[in-house]
């Protein structure tokens, strides 16, 4: 009986993880207010392989920022992006809730909120 309960729990956990991962994949609309008050928008493409998150921010005009060191654990995602190849790196953390992602970006001692929607 205990073996059956453990098996059910593991299958349920695995299913919820796969569901969260499949929710993350695809195209997203990104929005963040910079510390200087400017609104930053981008089209974001994300892909999941195992616990690895990859993708790219497309800011338009040929500007793209690749997602680096991306991970997913359940409904939490983390990744880094380098601003236009500069030394400024944003550390991004967020929670996925259906067709919405909300998180924080930290860079150079500043933390700002950001969001994405499908």
CA–CA gap between residue 90 and residue 88 (Å, rounded): 7
pLDDT averaged over every residue in the chain: 85
Query: In this predicted model, what pLDDT tens digit does every residue of 72-92 receive, in sequence order?
Result: 999 999 999 998 766 789 999
Q: Which position has the token pair 């970006």?
A: 105
Is residue 35 helix, strand or coil? coil
d(CA 108, CA 117): 26
List Cβ neighbours of 26 (8 Å cut-off, separation of 6 or more).
45, 46, 118
CATH for 2-117, options being 3.30.420.40, 2.40.128.120, 3.40.50.300, 2.160.10.10: 2.40.128.120
Q: Which of 38, 43, 53 has the alpha carbon at shortest distance from 92? A: 53
pLDDT of residue 85: 62
Domain ranges of the chain: 2-117
Residue stretches of the chain with pLDDT short of 50: 7-19
Report phi then psi at 99, rounded to 5.
Answer: -95, 25
pLDDT at 74: 92
- Please state, in angstroms and rounded to a whole number, the distance separating the CA atoms of residues 93 and 118: 18
Q: What pLDDT does residue 37 have?
A: 80
Q: Identify the pLDDT of residue 20.
A: 52
């Amino acid at each position: 009986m205990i073996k059956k309960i453990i098996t059910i729990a593991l299958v349920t956990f695995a299913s919820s993880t796969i569901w969260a991962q499949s929710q993350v994949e695809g195209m997203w609309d990104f929005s963040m207010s910079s510390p200087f008050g400017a609104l930053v928008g981008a089209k974001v493409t994300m892909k999941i392989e195992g616990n690895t998150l990859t993708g790219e921010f497309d800011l338009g005009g040929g500007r793209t920022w690749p997602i680096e060191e991306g991970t997913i654990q359940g409904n939490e995602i983390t990744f880094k992006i380098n601003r236009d190849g500069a030394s400024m790196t944003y550390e991004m953390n967020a929670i996925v809730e259906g067709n919405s992602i909300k998180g924080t970006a930290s860079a150079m001692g500043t933390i700002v909120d950001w969001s994405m929607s499908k």
